Amino acid sequence: MLILILLPVAFLLPPRAGAGEIIGGQEARPHSRPYMAYLNIRRKDNSFRCGGFLVAENFVLTAAHCNGDKITVYLGAHNIKQEEQSQQKISVRRPIPHQLYIRETHNNDIMLLQLEHKAELNEQVGLIPLPPAHQRVQPGTVCSVAGWGCTSALRKVLPDTLREVDLKGDSGGPLVCGKTAQGIVSWGSVNGTPPSVYVRLSTFIPWIRKTMKKLQP
């Protein structure tokens, strides 16, 4: 049985759990995770992808290190290389990284994205519940992640379709335990050695609730 060691703001996970990778996973059943968000992030010198998850009709949660000059959110996506009818493309109105985020250490690596308009909720696009404040995950709980991150520790292979696996990673995406988002994929070693670190969401529930309430129209 795998045991999770819980830190104040992060999960330390077992070996071979690179935070930007879905190693040894499989393609997810299309739209089986309707809360998943694909983030296309542009900066002046480059562009990259992250995962995220829909927690309110106009808010997505992700990692603070996924910030950029322009962020576009795709909801209802499975194959990001295709123009699926289920996809909703929404620009980010305002990124709100945690005020205590430290780039060098990835402490408090959490960010809310306020969308330009509300998502249309349906079978392909839905919300995922958040845990109560300061709730702890029981040791031995099996959790899973999903995303469009690298599928190989040896080659930088980025998949087109959503993939999922128990206890691996994809930056910004949710660590799901049962049907609840308990963490955010933060960081880990690129060669697959431990640790892999996940932000513990329950620690930040007061900040999340306060920020969303403040920005709601």
Residues marked active site are found at 65, 109, 171
Contact between 96 and 112 under an 8 Å Cβ cutoff? The reply is yes
Contact between 201 and 183 under an 8 Å Cβ cutoff? The reply is yes
Collapsed DSSP state (helix, strand, coil) of residue 18: coil
Backbone angles phi, psi at 53, to 5 degrees: -150, 145
| 113 vs 91: CA distance, rounded Å | 10
| 61 vs 204: CA distance, rounded Å | 11
Longest dimension (CA), the chain: 47
Report which of 112, 127, 64, 137 is spatially closest to residue 211, judged by C-alpha positions. 112
